Structure 1
Amino acid sequence: MVEQQAQQAQQPQQPAAPQGSQSDAEKNKIMAIVGYILPILFFIPLISDAKNSPFAKFHANQQLDLLLAAIAVNVVGSIIPVLGWFIILPVGSIALIVIAIMGIINASKGEMKKLPLIGGYELIK
């Protein structure tokens, strides 16, 4: 018994994971994914139990960025005749769908990666 305790004391301790990082991501994956499917629902993690989760808050911010980019693409594409209807709207919409899929993949993996092109804006503090 004493020998086992001595061996355990000699073994190096594993460093602790950052507080709440992996378990936080596991608990809030669904909340993080919901807003990428329908960006208008970005606020759901902010009013639910996940409001104190850095993971859910990060993805809610990315979803808000995605929503604002979608609004901008639709407004600009609708205002500019012909060029907007046949180039800006289709290309912009496809790009936003690809970016949303990237967000879903990041959230499902438990990663906090910023979305390309639009993810650099931190609107939710």
Structure 2
Amino acid sequence: MYDSTDIQNNKAMAIIAYILFFVPLLAAKESKFAMYHANQGLTLFLTAVLANIVLSIIPIIGWILLPIANLAICVLAILGIIAAAQGQVKPLPIIGSYTLLK
């Protein structure tokens, strides 16, 4: 499904996708591997924004859960970076099944 030369040539773009999801959209839009990880990065980014907005609005309990949610987002980003660095196409736990980019 994913070409091994595509994976080798675009590992850096796939890793960057978890930090700045839009970079692979601009620099490696022809790579299926980089686009897969860009989708995962975009999903992670939107999850982080949504969690931060919702939990910051909820008094006390939301404020307690906010650092835990941000820690979970960081863990998911690290898992994605590790998978990209190893050349794997592996969805992130919980949020990885959503496809926002085609």
Q: Is the structural similarity TM-score above 0.5?
A: yes
CA distance in 1, matches of 2:84, 2:17: 11
Structure 1: 5+ residue runs without aligned partners?
A: 1-17
Query: How many residue pairs get matched?
Result: 102
Which has more radius of gyration?
Answer: 1
Preserved CA contact (<8 Å) 2:25 2:38: yes
Name the residue aligned to 2:45: 67
* Structure 1 segments (4+ residues) deviating >3 Å: none
Letter in 2 for 1:45: P
Percentage identity across aligned positions?
Answer: 51
| Mapping 1:106-125, distance limit 5 Å | 106-125=83-102
C-alpha root-mean-square deviation of aligned residues, in Å? 1.2
| Mapping 1:16-95, distance limit 5 Å | 21-36=3-18, 38=19, 41-48=20-27, 50-86=28-64, 88-95=65-72
Letter in 1 for 2:67: P
RCO comparison, higher one (Cα < 8 Å, 6+): 2
CA distance in 1, matches of 2:25, 2:55: 31
Letter in 1 for 2:82: I
Structure 2: 5+ residue runs without aligned partners?
A: none
Secondary structure at the counterpart of residue 121 of structure 1: coil
CA distance in 2, matches of 1:58, 1:116: 15
Q: Does 1:102 align with 2:84?
A: no
CA distance in 2, matches of 1:121, 1:85: 27
CA distance in 2, matches of 1:104, 1:115: 10
CA distance in 2, matches of 1:75, 1:120: 22
